[in-house]
Structure 1
Amino acid sequence: MAESQTSLANISGTVVLAGAGKMGGALLSGWLGQGLDPKRVAVVDPHLSDEIRALAARGVRLNAETTTADDVAALVLAVKPQTFGEAGPALRPLIKRSTLVVSIMAGTTIAALDAACGGNIVRAMPNTPAAIGRGITVAVAAKGVNEQQRTTADALLHATGAVEWIDDEALMDAVTAVSGSGPAYVFLLAEELARAGVAAGLPADLAARLARETVAGSGELLHRSDLDVATLRQNVTSPGGTTAAALGVLMDENGLRALMTRAVAAATERSKELAR
């Protein structure tokens, strides 16, 4: 993370953030927290929240006031994909052929981005734990992106958590299905674990607390441990014990593996459909 912090502090020119909703706001918070000068940030959003407006007092420019294409070091696209058809052309005046453009819009391909606004494009897919700095983002760069621009993009994306780079844009549909949509699968696990606890006789509020803290704590253990996930699972499982009885259901041929494979396949296919 130290390299990313240094890169943010040393960015010359303005970073323009188009779209300051939950994900855009998480990025902005991360940038400022990691040393990016507020005076080097401009936010473009027709519906600015009070929290974003308050940053103007720290020097953040709102709606690209006094910002020109010659001043832009990077443009980060965090608008909703369905509004990009209108927003993309409106942002063109801030983009030169050599401008770094980083998109976190789901389902929007490099080709679509190039047609709408141009620039040297990095397409990225973050996920919602970015809001607490624990996200995972996967990024792919277009051919015109140089090493310095890739380093800048990596620093900007690292502000909300880990970053993985891939070379094949076609993998982004599966990335979306696994990590982009993945938090919802984990939250569903907590929901259903609580419901199962109630069905087993627990009071609803206790079952909800037990499920929530079990999922959260297990995730933190997974984050901190050097052990692979199978070993962590096995460490909880005594032969012939209660965990083994439960896993016998979850791991049968119609269990979690089959369901998760179908779920990720469905999300992958939907991501492909949205990109068409």
Structure 2
Amino acid sequence: MTKTLGKFAGRMLLVGCGNMAGAMLDRWLAAGLDPARVAVVDPVAEPREGTAHFTTLADWQAADQSADWIMLGMKPQQLGDVAGELAAVAGGAVHLLSILAGVSLADLAVRFPEARAQVRILPNLAARIGAGVSAVTSTGDADSAAIEALLKPLGEIVALPDDGMMDLVTAFTGSGPAFVFRLIEAYAAAGERLGLSGDDALKLATATFGGATALLARSGEKPGALVAQVASKGGTTQAGLDILDEGGELVALMTNVLRAARDRGRELADIARGDD
């Protein structure tokens, strides 16, 4: 069943509409968001049918546009370039939404002190098909029902009490799809090395990962319990698991991957604040 926007209403401005913001917008439009109530400011992105498209904030303002919801979807390094001009229109009843990696609620409150609420959202690319996950936290007088209605069409929602863990969540779920895609790519490459054709290896790998994650999500069982249902003592699966589990190296590798992504998020936050 297609999830709709329910209680969400108002006019939305997207400042930046790259891959992630564009995926969110496409999903919202598919869920019934009126494109006539959406404006995009982005000098590079392709216009979406029915939405107003501007290359600069000045052009948007000159067209006598207004917004109840403003979402920051550009690169975090560009926050300083737009914050001053945008702060003038991000006040009163406006919800200021941000998907910027590393930019905290405190940073947003300093940049946009007159906004009704500052809302930090960390989605991932699977939002494009309504199968993503969005972590969300906010400060100020946030309309939680409208925010939930906005995020439901994108997939699962995880509400965090504060944004203290948002840098890790950015790495864990925001960057996570890329890590999964790389694992699938490596799994397929290994199959190809051992004799499968490239096309067959990728098809089999995609179906294997997709089926396994779907089963995990629907069964309600822990991963280890499902592992036990596949593996048997002395069997083929256990032989492979012995390699994966050796020395705890797989967990160590993934820890290092997430640590690197998390730390880069913190570096981006320093750049956005103008820190050395």
- Structure 2-normalised TM-score? 0.85
1:248 corresponds to which letter in structure 2? D
Match of 1:255, SS state, is helix
Residue among 107, 120, 136 paired with 1:139: 136
Of 62, 68, 76 in structure 1, the residue corresponding to residue 71 of structure 2 is 76
Q: Given the alignment of the two structures, is residue 165 of structure 1 paired with residue 159 of structure 2, yes or no?
A: yes
For 1:62, which of 53, 56, 59 is the aligned residue? 53
Q: Cα offset for 1:25?
A: 1.9
* Corresponding residue for residue 203 of structure 2: 209
Distance in 2 (alpha carbons) for counterparts of 1:113 and 1:249: 46
Between the aligned residues of both structures, percent identity stands at 38
User: How many residues end up aligned between the 2 structures?
Assistant: 261
Q: Secondary structure at the match of 2:246?
A: coil
Distance (Å, rounded) in 2 between the aligned partners of 1:205 and 1:4? 36
Which deviations, in whole Å up to 9, do the C-alpha atoms of 1:43-75 show, x marking residues without a partner?
22223414x1xx23xxx333343323xxx3211
Q: Does 1:104 align with 2:99?
A: yes
Q: Which residue in the other structure is 1:243 paired with?
A: 237
Alignment of 1:1-276 (within 5 A): 5-8=5-8, 11=9, 13-50=10-47, 52=48, 55-56=49-50, 60-63=51-54, 64=60, 65-68=63-66, 72-118=67-113, 119=115, 120-142=117-139, 144-146=140-142, 149-276=143-270
Q: Which residue number in structure 1 is paired with residue 57 of structure 2? A: none
CA contact (8 A) 2:27 2:127 kept: no
Find the aligned partners of 2:159 and 2:13 in 1 and give their Cα distance. Answer: 22
TM-score with structure 1 length normalisation? 0.85
Contact 2:101–2:167 (Cα < 8 Å) also in 1: no
Structure 1 window deviating more from structure 2 (167-176 vs 106-115): it is: 106-115
CA offset digits 1:218-267 (Å, max 9, x no partner): 22333333322222222221222111111111112243122212222222
Larger RCO (CA under 8 A, 6+ residues apart)? 2
Structure 1: 5+ residue runs without aligned partners? none
Unpaired runs of at least 5, structure 2: 55-59, 271-276
Equivalent residue letter for 2:75:
K
* CA spacing shift, 1:5–1:189, aligned 2, 3 Å: same
Change (3 A) 1:162 1:101: same
Alpha-carbon distance in structure 2 between the residues aligned to 1:132 and 1:42: 22
Pairwise CA RMSD of aligned residues? 2.2
Cα distance between partner residues in 2 of 1:2 and 1:204: 34
- Contact 1:22/1:131 (CA < 8 Å) preserved in 2? no
Q: 1:1-38, CA deviations, whole angstroms, 9 ceiling, x for partnerless residues?
A: 99963212xx1x31222222222222222222223222
Q: Partners in 2 of 1:85 and 1:230 — Cα distance? A: 46
Confirm or deny: 8 A CA contact 1:26 1:160 kept in the other structure: no
For the residues of structure 2 that align with 1:137 and 1:246, how far apart are their CA atoms?
34
CA distance in 1, matches of 2:3, 2:208: 34
